[in-house]
Amino acid sequence: MTEMLEPAGGTPPPTSRRTDLPLSGIRVLDLTMVWAGPFTTKQLADMGAEVIKVEGPGRTDLVRSLTVPDQSVDRPWDTSRYFHEYNRNKMGVAIDVRQDAGKKLLLQLAAISDVLIDNFRPGVLDRLGLAWDVLHAENPRLIQVSLPGYSDVPPERGLPGYGPNVEQMGGLAHLNGYHDGPPQKSGISYGDPVAGLGGAAAVLTALAQRDRTGVGMQIEVGQRNILIGLIGDALVGHQLGSAPVRMGNRSATVAPQGVYPTRGPDGSDADSADAWVAVTVASDSQWQATCALIERSDLAGLTTDDRLDRHDELDAAIAAWSRRRTAAEAADALQAAGVPAGPVLGPDALAEDEHLIERGFFVEVPHPHLGVTRLTAPTWDFDGLDIELTRAPGLGEHNIHVLRELLGYSDDDIAALHAAGVVAVRPAGR
């Protein structure tokens, strides 16, 4: 049993030992990987749900190999910081569901769980013999939430999808970019985190419905569908005969608006600093305040239409002023004058942001391979509830706890499953 205990190192599972968290007592079977699904279950785990992340020894979460795992340690697949952020507060088991014995284990876990979540391509669970009718027969109270890139409905059924592709199909990229330029993807693939939040909301809604009916339900949270919902104003505009156009950083209704170069926080000049302040002037009074600040009283009488027509000239006037200041100095001065503005913050600045630190947004969590790491605090701040964070699980770390304590398997049974490769603590071939 030594090898099977290796990842755990005596660490207890991060199950909620409290009854005061919103989802205390709810068990979630997490079959997801990469981003959208783990982001969903991260929210649920933070709210107190007992989340059991299921991987396969032959198909671990792809994120385990991202962010340059530390190859100098015995278990490099447990050293991904990306994985650590999105899978904290969860238990981890590794089960080969391609084997009948592994499929049996998964069905047994489904029978004692409240929620099962996957973000496979539609049809994968069916091929594994884990279709909704099978799961529902095993546990009528089970809620199943699927987060495919597209949909289980033809003609999209079965299409593979990752964030950049789904974003294009969701209409978001068509709106991004500069005037007269091509569409541009966003800096991140919004389909994943937005679907993740949508998946968490779907779980909460289904739990409320189950309280009334006593029966679980199957839910699809298609990433493409959620993204289309984010551009409802563009769809309405099209219906009214006003096709949206790409605007870059500008607005069709107020001016000036944009990001303007500034000195770096270390004093470096604006040409080399890659530092910016974002400004939106939404009214005549704000524009007059801006003109007073940048010492361009000759422009103060311009109306909104004038400012829209002369946007390039106004951008140059604001940039001439902002280039002599840091982003924080420019933003502070504009805000003091009543003009909406803020520095454009990168990860380095966010990590040192005074407000985020004061709010406790970053939480230090020890990790056996990564040392003390900083994770983001739970999305929601519940008044009076201090939500503890624990590290992400090693591969198969809680096999023994789950099989013995939750399913009632003996140590001999567990050893036999391990010897047969049904459960594992290392990826196949490692």
pLDDT (tens digit per residue) in 291-302? 999 999 999 999
Report percent pLDDT > 90 for the chain: 62
Pairwise CA distance, residues 400 & 394, whole Å: 13
Half-sphere exposure of 358 (CA within 13 A, CB side): 3
Q: What is residue 17's predicted lDDT score, i.e. its pLDDT?
A: 61
Span 129-147, pLDDT tens digits: 899 999 999 999 999 999 9
Q: Which of 100-104, 135-139, 232-236 has the lowest mean pLDDT?
A: 232-236
Span 158-214, pLDDT tens digits: 777 777 788 888 888 888 888 888 988 887 778 888 889 999 999 999 999 999 999
Mean pLDDT of the chain: 89
pTM across the whole model:
0.89
Q: What is the mean pLDDT of residues 335-346?
A: 96
Both tokens of 344, joined, read 């454009």
pLDDT over 50 at 18, yes or no: yes
pLDDT over 80 at 281, yes or no: yes
pLDDT over 50 at 216, yes or no: yes
Q: What is the mean pLDDT of residues 107-114?
A: 97
Q: What is the mean pLDDT of residues 315-333?
A: 97
Higher-confidence residue of 1 and 407: namely 407
Predicted confidence band of residue 69 (pLDDT cuts 50, 70, 90): low
Predicted confidence band of residue 12 (pLDDT cuts 50, 70, 90): low
Higher-confidence residue of 343 and 241: namely 343
Predicted confidence band of residue 4 (pLDDT cuts 50, 70, 90): very low
Q: What is residue 1's predicted lDDT score, i.e. its pLDDT?
A: 44
Both tokens of 42, joined, read 């991260």
Q: What is residue 16's predicted lDDT score, i.e. its pLDDT?
A: 55
User: Which string of b and e fits 137-159 if b means at least 16 CB within 10 Å?
Assistant: ebbeebbbbbbbbbbbeeebeeb
The helix-helix angle for 284-294 and 311-322 (nearest 10°) equals 50
Predicted confidence band of residue 10 (pLDDT cuts 50, 70, 90): very low
pLDDT over 50 at 2, yes or no: no
